[in-house]
Amino acid sequence: MSIRNGGEYFIRLFIGIDLSATIKQTIVQFQSELRDLGVNGSWKSLDNLHITLEFLGEIELDKIPAITETLTKAASNYKSFWLTIGGLGAFPSLKQPHTLWTAVSGSLTELNQLKYDLHQSLKIKGFKLEERKFKPHITLASRPKLDIIDFSKVLTKNLGEYRVAEVVLFESRAISDKIVYIDLFRAGLEITGE
């Protein structure tokens, strides 16, 4: 839902990579395994699992065409690539966590370059963006309570591989007190034979 602010309409947006249904299901099973170990927190729902490339924030509706044009141009310069999902980490650390995540590895050169190209192109078009170092991850839970838990069996657990074939413009919307991510636009990468 867009919000009206002084005559302008704004929408909360971010650019990310959606995940396959198979990987999402595996991650949900991993969340369940962590719950069984005693981890509590605000768990991400299956539909909201993704990799964030660029958080845009509150953006005027009339800026969306410039974003979709940037996504299409950036995506057209890349072939699809594979990422490996797995392991466990936290921001800022497992000892004092505010976000619990699973890691992303594999073709990180391509992923980092795609993120960099999107970032630079959007900055050139006048978007104000965060400048923090990119650490690709998939959030599992926020505000986790870990206490005294033995993570030795899950710290390096492999959850599978995923082929990145598109980048997505998501809207973040609050519906019935829940945050829902709605895909507004998808830009495909070039699919290569394996």
Contacts of 116 (CB under 8 A, 6+ apart): none
- What phi, psi does 150 have (nearest 5°)? -90, 105
- What phi, psi does 182 have (nearest 5°)? -115, 125
Indicate the fold that domain 10-188 takes in CATH.
Cyclic Phosphodiesterase; Chain: A, (3.90.1140)
pLDDT in the model for residue 45: 95
Is 137 part of the annotated catalytic residue set? Answer: yes
Catalytic residue among 12, 24, 50, 115: 50
Least confident range of 10-19, 52-61, 147-156, 182-191? 147-156
Question: In this prediction, what percent of the chain has a pLDDT beyond 90?
Answer: 80
DSSP per position, the chain = --EEETTEEEEEEEEEEE--HHHHHHHHHHHHHHHHHT-EEEEPPGGG-EEEEEEEEEEEGGGHHHHHHHHHHHHHT-B-EEEEEEEEEEEE-SSSEEEEEEEEEESHHHHHHHHHHHHHHHHHTT-----SPP--EEEEEEEEE-SS---TTTTT-EEEEEEE-EEEEEEEEEETTEEEEEEEEEEEPBP---
The answer to whether the CB of 188 falls within 8 A of the CB of 77 is no
Compute the distance between CA of residue 86 and CA of residue 101 in angstroms, rounded to an integer. Answer: 9
Give pTM, 2 decimals: 0.91
pLDDT tens across 42-68, in order?
999 999 999 999 999 999 999 999 999
pLDDT tens across 162-183, in order?
999 999 999 999 888 888 999 9
Is 50 part of the annotated catalytic residue set? Answer: yes
Catalytic residue among 31, 136, 137, 171: 137
Domain boundaries, the chain: 10-188
- Per-residue tokens: 157: 């657990």
